Structure 1
Amino acid sequence: MTPHSPSLPPPPPRSPGKILLLAALVALVVASFASLPLQWSAFFAPEALDSAAEFLDGFSPPDTAPAFLDKTFGALWETLAMSLMGTLLAVAGGLALALPASGRMGGALRGAVRALLNVLRSIPELVWASLLLVAAGLGPFAGTLALAAHTTGVLGRLFADALENVEPLPEQTLRTNGAAPLAAFLYATLPQALPQMLSYALYRWENNIRAAAVLGVVGAGGLGQMLKYHLSLFQMQSAATVVIAMLLLVALVDAASYALRRALTR
């Protein structure tokens, strides 16, 4: 007599809340398409395609004059430095705010700091740059501060969530055996969250490269400022060189960040 195979348990019933949430998302997507004046026929009209082709034809060939390439390389380095310094300042500020935001210093302080992080990351980099240009003047300093302010809000929230999600038992064990709170945090909790926090920081550096290129449009220096200048004068070939420099910079930073993340996860 062959034994009967154990029957599989019945699937759990679907929660009405999940079904309502899914229905609300579908309704939101449908309403978005219905409310936006999406003129697909005008977008793909022959006249529009001819105008776009004529506009793009003005970008070729890119400006390869040695003097202009030197100027472009200087702006590229300025954009890279803005993104790197802005990210480093945000890592320091985000880590400092993540400690109270993770509830390690009391519930009341946790709510206040998380509200501050919400404000910092809710204001886009362009708005921060416009505000800081008044105080710091034109140039990369205002752009660096704008990137640091917005990214501090993002990384502070991500770092706080990473600290809250670590296993608390190792730190509790160290503190039970007489270790100081700071030492227990540094030796037990922080090493668990550090790989994830480093991954978040590298990912935000990638984003800040793109943001730093855009911030130049409002006068914050770098490749974005060069791009705005040449486009405003309809110097399309020079603008094409700046766009190519942006693409190369983003590709190089993406590759470097990917390699660093792979090295950290091994």
Structure 2
Amino acid sequence: MKRGILPAAPPRPWSSAVLLLALAALAAASFASLPLQWTALFSAAALASGGEFFAGFAPPELALPFVRKTAWAAAETLSMSALGTLLAVAAALPLALPAAGRFGAAARGAMRTLLNVLRAVPELVWASILLIAAGLGPFGGTLALALHTAGVLGRLFADALENAAPLPEHSLRANGAAPTAAFLYATLPQTLPQMLSYTLYRWENNIRAAAILGVVGAGGLGQMLKYHLSLFQMQKAATVILAMLLLVALVDALSFALRRALTR
């Protein structure tokens, strides 16, 4: 190649252009089909009523008994998210093994179908079903988080196992190692940091989901927020919202620090 002459760029596949055009057409169709009333949203009456509504949240309720009650509800929300995530991990790893094709194609298809069902049902729907059986309180919400998160993490764990380099495990098995030992010493260490990163990320999401699940009676901050909003106790609701924001920010910072430590 002559100096100063750059090689020609490789031709881009036509499928990328078709995909971009399809996405653009979908976005245009969405705007055209939805009755988006932007003028009503930004009208003077809407802005005045919205300002009056938000003014009712100030100042937040800071009486010590209510702050203690809010802190206890925040601890309950945190416990729901942590326990739900741990239960999901305990279920996701054994489900991910057959979903990764380690027990044949039939088991892979059946297990991936189960994981699809678990994660396709939202946490609110799981909570509504489980609260009928388990009663009101954090127990049903914890199980709802565990079921949905098990479906998400099971699929992510299975993909990580399938994408792991097979040569180390094959080498151990060729040298006489048992299949379980070869998996534990060769494949699992490759995927464990990625699995831990997925788990921490899902814990962040479950904090937000646990706060929302209280709306259907699963306890925690969400149940407090629904109660005070239904009684138009806006200042108390503002305190609950601030507690939600602080809890999410705390867990986000902790999860980020742990993920950074895992990738070093």
Q: Could you say which TM-score interval applies, normalised by the shorter chain?
A: over 0.9
- Name the amino acid aligned to 2:259: R
Mapped pair 1:138 → 2:136:
yes
Quote the residue 2:166 is aligned against. 168
Larger CA deviation: 181-190 vs 38-47 = 38-47
Shift in Å, 1:6: 7.8
Structure 2 CA distance, aligned partners of 1:70 and 1:18?
Answer: 55
- The counterpart of 1:253, out of the listed 227, 251, 264, is 251
Distance 2:60 2:17 in 1: 53
Which of 52, 58, 61 aligns to 1:60? It is 58
Q: Which amino acid aligns with 1:84?
A: A
Write the distance in 1 (CA, Å) between the matches of 2:77 and 2:180: 37
Structure 1: which amino acid aligns with 2:239? T
Match of 1:107 in 2: 105
Alignment of 1:1-266 (within 5 A): 4-5=2-3, 7-266=5-264
Range with bigger deviation, 14-23 or 107-116: 14-23
Tell me which amino acid in the other structure corresponds to 2:189.
Answer: P
SS of equivalent to 1:194: helix
User: Secondary structure at the residue paired with 2:27?
Assistant: helix
- Where does the alignment leave 5 or more consecutive residues of structure 2 unmatched? none
Structure 1 unpaired stretches of 5+: none
- Give the TM-score normalised by structure 1: 0.97
For residue 133 of structure 1, give the secondary structure of its aligned residue in structure 2.
helix
Report Cα offsets for 1:137-175 as digits up to 9, x if no partner: 000000000000000000000000001111110000000
Q: Aligned partners of 1:133 and 1:109: how far apart in 2?
A: 31
Give the match's secondary structure for 1:37.
coil
Please state how far the C-alpha of 1:7 moved relative to its aligned partner: 5.0
User: How big is the alpha-carbon RMSD for the aligned residues of Structure 1 and Structure 2?
Assistant: 1.1
Deviation for aligned residue 1:225: 0.1
TM-score, normalisation: structure 2: 0.98
Please state how far the C-alpha of 1:21 moved relative to its aligned partner. Answer: 1.7
CA distance in 2, matches of 1:69, 1:6: 70
Query: Any idea what the Cα deviations from partners look like across 1:54-106, whole Å, max 9, x if unmatched?
Result: 00110011111111111111100000000000000011111110000000110
Structure 2 CA distance for partners of 1:6 and 1:171, relative to 1, 3 Å: farther
Cα distance in 2 for residues equivalent to 1:193 and 1:8: 40
Deviation at 1:11, TM superposition (A): 2.4
Partner amino acid, structure 2, of 1:224:
G
